Structure 1
Amino acid sequence: MYIRIGQILLFTLGLVLSSQSFAERPAGKQGKDWGSEEGKECVECHMTESPGMYWEWNNSKHGQNGVDCLDCHKAEEGDVDGYEHHDQLISVIVTPKDCSTCHPREFKEVQRSHHASAGEILHSLDNLLGEVIGGPAAVNAGCRQCHGTTVKIDEKGKPTKDTWPNTGIGRINPDGSKGACSACHGRHEFSRAQARTPDTCGKCHVGPDHPQIEVYNESKHGIIYRANVDKMNLDSDKWVAGVDYSAAPTCATCHMSASGDQPKTHDVGERISWNLRSPISNKINLVRLDNGHQYDLPEGKPLPKVGDKPDHPKAKGGTVTEVLTWDERRAKMEGICYACHTSEYVDGHYKQLDDLVDLYNTKFAKPIAAVITDLKAMGKLTSAPFDEKIEWVWWEIWHHEGRRARHGASMSGPDYTWWHGIYEVAKHTYFEFIPELKKLVGEVEAQKLLDKHFRPIEGHDWFFNGLNPAQIEAVRKGYEERYGKGAMK
């Protein structure tokens, strides 16, 4: 009796859902005017088997425009990731190449972008830390969930459990395409609004070495966005800054979206003029090729010309089709800023950013890197990374604190620029790196290296000769004016 009642309830639920299922479908006949006829069976099954998935799809732009399950998941004979499922050959993985059927421009831009190459971290120091010093399981559940991984397929045509699920932005797919559209446009709604929120980027751009979401949240942009999110018009089709919204930008505004004469793009690095990730920052030019690849070239390196076949590992035999200099890339970003700011304001921001990066480079990164180079030449460091403490200290200075300082300045986050940034760079330089240097080579040799690389830089004068008495007196005077005579001991 109870079983029969349950069956009746399930049947009734199915009828209700079925009546709702196609109530909002586009006009016309399925299989002729929209969607595939076979896809109707998928929809009807998933209404009861996985209703959450169904409703996300049903209410999405895809669902409301007649794109059904098979339009995205149908596989072809010979596909390595294709398998039989209820008399249909399907694939679990929907790749950027699959999405390119309807979104060819976005596919092309993504494939050449920094995002798409994020999965190529196998030979990086970050990966060495994870795989060896941490452990493969940590890399699988951690690093690769943002960077992506090579998805492997088992003998049944399904992705292996150690490589799936994975929505890493640089995922390497069985069809050779790179990336995962669902990293930003979550399944199965694939919402533009969701992809435009800072929290979407904050899944990966977070933490000690790349805290962009934290920097954004403390910036004036982030504060205003949170207060005015209901005015952001996030689901707009064109979403032009200064036209469709004006309260504040999000990550997508600056790096991807349209404004003024700047068209939208899925090439997230196109408007970046500084490399703020490496030990020493460089302004970067961009070289694009006819084979779909592109690469950054630091300022000062000879630039190829359109039509050249550059001898560069990332060129992969391609012919140059476009060269964007660092100042042209900056002009693209400035074009976004001008939607809400005057040229004087934008120029001032970039002046402050450039000065901060120059300070980091000149005062800290270059002399420390030079000391490390000399230590290797002296035979004081092995060729293996991370087997001496001084290498760990330098790693964290540039990879953590230095990045925080530089990104803080680039995104108007003062706390990350100073307290989480340059303050910690300085503290660890003077009170970790230099003491470790003295332990490694002795006081005499350490002093020679410091005299060679640090002493000529004016900013280190206080370290060698003590704080300037006039500076101390100015601080004392101000302190006593605020707290009373004798307050500063």
Structure 2
Amino acid sequence: MKLKSFWVWSLALFLLAGKAWANSSISEDTQTCLECHEALTPGIVADWRESLHAQITPEEALKKAPLARRISTSQVPEDKKGVVVGCAECHTLNPDSHQDTFEHNGFRIHVVVTPKDCETCHPKEVKEYEHNLMSKAYRNLKNNPVYHGLVETSLGPQKLEKGRLVYLPSHPLTQADACFSCHGTKVEVKGLTSRDTPMGEMEFPVLSGWPNQGTGRINPDGSEGACTSCHPRHSFSIEIARKPYTCAQCHKGPDVPAYKVYVVSKHGNIFQSQGKQWNFKAVPWKVGEDFKAPTCATCHVSLLVDKDGAVIVERTHQMNDRNAWRLFGLIYAHPHPKESDTTIIKNKAGLSLPTELTGEPVTEFLIDKKEMKRRQTRMKRVCSACHATTWVEGFFTRLHKTIEITNQQTLAATQIVLMAWKEGLAQGLPSSIFDEAIEKMWVEQWLFYANSVRFASAMSGADYGVFANGRWFLNKNLQAMKDWVEFKRRTKKKD
């Protein structure tokens, strides 16, 4: 009884505080949500109150000049035009398509807000994101037999059995806590459960694969992706999305050392020294006025204008829209895939890889030279906002040479592995190609060392191209792989 009295008085106080703050543009449904959640989840409510969603209605957003808009629809549903985007506006959208919809205090709400919900106001961004490799990150990892094998030999626990190390299947919770933390999980409804709450006993859906904000998350309404990967709830801040710390959640290395390279680059040096003085909220984003050096978003996502307001590049949520080359994650650097679903790709050996094991690209699934040139031209426009043409051209000439040489170094490692398979020194295909010592060294060659070199070249982070998992390790690893083969040959002869 004392506990219930406490909550009654707490709610009364929060209601009074809420009325003092009262925004006439808040819908009645959202106001009802706030009356409880001010007390129950004050952090969430405080985050939302400071967001742009809580301060401007879609109708007001549409009145802004086209370049200043953060909303891309031309027509908002009538019942949502004049109210701010609050709890009810997101969590009660499309209830029939959400498997996680449940009855809650007289409302039909769902837990997981998805791109299909955000599409109400941001259709252009959602459509672009669908063409983004990130949107299929779960599918592309889980449904690719080659990379599923890499997941299992990375996460699966091992035990010693009759003198041999044996891999056990990785647990789904381990997957969700590791690879699928960034790639996304499959969120499924497993039923309902009753819980005692300060408001009495209530029923809630039981969700597997939750919590998760991975970029390719499979949502209970069938959509793929999570806007909250970059725009965290409940502020959904463009400022947070524009800062490199957000990308660092997943792009830290050693397989994707983008943030580490950025921090030691001249761009990162300037950001760390002066970034607190920059305007990360402005739309459009003015080069030289709002900021003085690029972050990840500057190069890959943001709408940029010059001091006169002329557009340098349009905003895009297709993260490879300015990238000709796919530098990381795969055995060789190669032109970007045409489709975001890379599970459709098959090379001559029947493997779900965009190149042959010997490096030749599977061209039918990859963008052509014209599209590569278009994408690189967009990126060069970003660079040219701060750098002279000779600097920009020299930069890309070096990057292309780095791609060529790291692919050569990867080919040399692959040839050693193929030699080991052919001579029976390692099993290789059709069994796992990631579970023996020589194969693990091969993976490190392209997944860690070649990636570090390419990122160092692409982002001007010099030492990562040499000693910090760079060229030194490419050569050292090749020697170790060759020595392993020689050792195995001698051992085989003695047998």
TM-score range, shorter chain: 0.7 to 0.9
Instruction: Find 2:320's aligned residue among 269, 275, 284.
Output: 269
Pairing 1:126-141 to 2, within 5 Å after superposition: 126-133=150-157, 135-136=170-171, 137-141=173-177
* Partner AA of 2:22 in structure 1: F
Match of 1:375 in 2: 420
Letter in 1 for 2:473: E
Seen in structure 2, the aligned counterparts of structure 1 residues 163 and 288 have a Cα distance that, compared at 3 Å, is closer
CA contact (8 A) 1:168 1:183 kept: yes
1:407 to 425, 435, 455: 455
* Residue-by-residue CA offset, 1:150-193 (whole Å, 9 max, x unaligned): 10112239664541110011101122211111111111111000
Question: Are 1:62 and 2:81 an aligned pair?
Answer: no
Residue 294 of structure 1: how far off its partner (Å): 11
In the TM superposition, what whole-angstrom CA distance separates every residue of 1:59-90 from its partner, at most 9, and x where no partner exists? Answer: 11111121121110015246321100001111
What is the CA-CA distance between 1:361 and the residue it aligns to?
Answer: 2.0
Distance 2:17 2:9 in 1: 12
Checking the alignment, whether the CA contact within 8 Å between 1:272 and 1:333 is kept in structure 2 is yes
Give the Å deviation of 1:442: 3.8
Select the structure with the greater relative contact order (CA < 8 A; seq sep ≥ 6): 2
CA distance in 2, matches of 1:126, 1:297: 16
CA shift in 2, pair 1:204/1:22, >3 Å:
same
Task: For residue 131 of structure 1, report the CA deviation from its aligned partner.
Answer: 4.3
Residues 255 and 269 of structure 1 are in contact (CA less than 8 Å); yes or no, is this contact kept in structure 2? yes
C-alpha separation between the residues in 1 aligned to 2:205 and 2:457?
Answer: 42
For 1:387 and 1:57, the matched residues in 2 are separated by 47
Q: Which residue of 1 aligns with 2:42?
A: 51
Cα distance between partner residues in 1 of 2:363 and 2:450: 28
Question: What is the alpha-carbon distance in structure 1 between the residues aligned to residue 13 and residue 179 of structure 2?
Answer: 42
1:248 aligns with 2:305: no
The whole-number CA distance in structure 2 between the counterparts of 1:159 and 1:423 is 52
Asked whether the equivalents of residues 115 and 225 of structure 2 are also in contact (C-alpha less than 8 Å), the reply is yes
The residue number in structure 2 matching 1:178 is 224
Which of structures 1 and 2 has the bigger CA Rg? 1
Pair 1:326-2:344 in alignment: no
| Unaligned residue ranges in structure 2 (runs of 5+) | 57-83, 159-169, 194-203, 305-310, 346-352
Q: Deviations over 1:249-297 (max 9, x none)?
A: 10000011123432010111111122222555344155369x9x99997
One-letter amino acid matched to 2:190: D
Counterpart check, 1:100 vs 2:119: yes
Q: Which amino acid aligns with 1:79?
A: H
Over aligned residue pairs, what C-alpha RMSD do you find?
Answer: 3.2
Separation in 1, partners of 2:453, 2:333: 15
When residues 279 and 112 of structure 1 are mapped into structure 2, their CA distance, relative to the original with a 3 A threshold, is closer
Greater shift, 43-52 or 76-85, is seen at 76-85
Aligned to 2:235: 189
Q: Tell me if the contact between 1:130 and 1:139 (Cα under 8 Å) persists in the aligned partners.
A: no
User: Is the contact between residue 286 and residue 326 of structure 1 (CA under 8 Å) also seen in structure 2?
Assistant: no
The CA distance in 1 between the partners of 2:236 and 2:333, in whole Å, is 36
SS in 1 for 2:215: coil
Equivalent residues of 2:402, 2:454 under 8 A apart = yes
Gaps of 5+ in 1: 305-311, 315-319, 446-489
Q: Which amino acid aligns with 1:38?
A: D
Mapped contact 2:413–2:445 kept (Cα < 8 A):
no
Q: How far apart, CA to CA, are the structure 2 residues paired with 1:11 and 1:390?
A: 63
Q: Deviations over 1:106-145 (max 9, x none)?
A: 0001111011111121231432224434732432212211
Cα 1:258–1:423 shift into 2, 3 Å:
same
Q: Pairwise mapping of residues 194-343 of structure 1 onto structure 2 (< 5 A)?
A: 194-242=240-288, 244-259=289-304, 260-278=311-329, 280-284=331-335, 287=338, 325-343=371-389
8 Å contact kept, 1:57–1:189: yes
Match of 2:180 among 141, 144, 147: 144
Note if contact 2:238-2:281 (Cα within 8 Å) is conserved in structure 1.
yes
Output the TM-score relative to the length of structure 1.
0.77
Question: Across the two proteins, how many residue pairs are aligned to each other?
Answer: 418
| CA distance in 2 between partners of 1:323 and 1:103 (Å) | 31
Residues in 2 aligned to 1:112 and 1:4: alpha-carbon distance in whole angstroms:
50
Match of 1:261, SS state, is strand
Instruction: Give TM-score scaled by structure 2 length.
Output: 0.77
From 424, 429, 447, the counterpart of 2:478: 429
